[in-house]
Structure 1
Amino acid sequence: MQQTSPLARAGRALEPLAWVGPAVVLIAVVVVWPVIVMIQSSFLKISRFGVVRGANGVDNYTKLFAEPDFGGVMIRSLIWVVAVVGLTVVLSLALAQLFNQRFPGRNIARWALIAPWAASVLMTAIIFKWMLDPEVGLINMILHDLGILDAMGGADADPLGKASTAFPWLIGVAVFVSLPFTTYALLAGLATIPADVYEAARMDGASKARIYFSITLPLLRPALTVAMLINVMNVFNSFPIIWVMTHGQPGYSTATSTIFMYILKGSDIGESAAMSVVNFGMVVVLVAVFLKVARWNRQVA
């Protein structure tokens, strides 16, 4: 048998780099390097104009944790993620099950569901802000005509001007934007479930509820895990909806950690960088906890 030279063996061993090398370089430049710079910046004293004035130790973190609104912002961020992702998944499960059935106009309904996904998130947020305008907003006009607005506090009620109503509206808009992707991801998962599995269950006398919870949901777990994971990361880092509709106001009552980070940038870039590191750490922790709870690498029976 002919022996291959060490050089030839080394060449074959390096062949995969031709395929994965560009992706590794892209990740290093786009993801890893910005994270390194972000962490370095959190330990520097930087003026609001971006001028580095030397090392600052952990003073940026000390100042950040001493902010009176820091605790509330972090708790609100968790509520934001849990509420938006939870409502999105529940509604998407129902929509996916509906659109998986055959009914007149199903294709039109599926195309209509793409609209919030295809539209710019910024544009969607602006439209909802206009619709909630206290004077000429369409939603307020409809609520006023129905007498609901008067019963809730008068014709001049401003839904985005009060924390008690603004934050729920922000959650609603975020759910509206997140529904299309999640629903289509679950629809793709439903399409992979063999029809004979359902047929066998029906022959065994299983009810529709039993089939859904014992067959559909377990077999949907891979698609559901991916959809929820992407939603957790997107929602946690969501910026346009809150910034366009409320700017985190009144006060910081509707601000999440991403909004808080951006606001801090206007006065102290070093402190804002520290908030970025905390934000990044929270995303990593949330994803790790989610993957642990979801047991993503467990094989579906």
Structure 2
Amino acid sequence: MFYAYWNQFTDLLSKERWQLPLQQVKQRHCLPDSRFIDIDGLSVHYRDVGDGPVLLCLHGIFSSLHTWQEWTTQLSDDYRVISLDLPNFGITGPHPDGMRKQLYSDFLNRFTDALGIDHCYLAGNSLGGWMSYEFAHRFPHKVDKLILIDSAGFFFVPPATLIAMGLPLVGWPMSQSPLPRKLVHSMVDSTYAQPQRLDDSIRNRYYDLMHRPGNRRAGAAVVAFIRNNIGFDTSYLPQISQPTLVMWGKQDGWIPPAHATKFEQQLPDCQRIMYHNCGHLPMEELPQQTAQDCRRFLQQP
């Protein structure tokens, strides 16, 4: 009897009936200026707004290009602001290779080539910060300046839900079943120092994108890769020559604010700004102030 119920349960999960169809995800969360480009067998979702020097913006884990909407509005008068849903996340979805060493820097090299970008300014938040400095290290001729916002890099303990997703026994059922909406909303709230600044449309967007077909398994593979490699490689930070601005929310509950000083100590040409009453996503929580600081940094000779 047990095995009959178990087989019914696993059959239901394998059909992934709980997931949100991709077309529905697109209808809900594509923007009027959304674009798509084929790279690595993926239909990559991105925005390309404004004229001038290129500012390429990379989001964090289980996030999407929407996290840069306010920066795009604030900065596109002076810059060509490009944001994208990175492989394994957002509308773009799972990469055919899953997760491997240098997957993201290889992908970004092909993405910039496809858009005819010879060099750019590069901003990355959280996991996107790690992607940014790896790309700047491997392809230094393409990156003129670097902005790291509450960046992953040095050792930290991520939220319990993310840890569970990367565990061999726990991660599989978590990636194969719906997450409670309240749990996702709670995770999103924890990225802000003042969650009252959020509204349910943002919380629900994260929920929907985590239920896009394949995203949960792909994200879990990224978490497992990081765990299996005992974190991120920061050994080459002293070799990064590009001028770098480190931005950090003083109330970041995901990655310790003390890591901002660690980046400042490791990077040869680095400035640091700390934001009061701000959490893990300064470009969302304090968009005008952080965009002004970004512009000021990029305009420095």
Q: TM-score, normalised by structure 2?
A: 0.23
Task: Work out which structure has the larger RCO, using CA pairs closer than 8 Å and 6 or more positions apart in sequence.
Answer: 1
Q: Which has the larger radius of gyration?
A: 1
Structure with more of its chain in strand, by fraction: 2
TM-score by length of 1: 0.23
User: Whose helix fraction is larger, Structure 1's or Structure 2's?
Assistant: 1
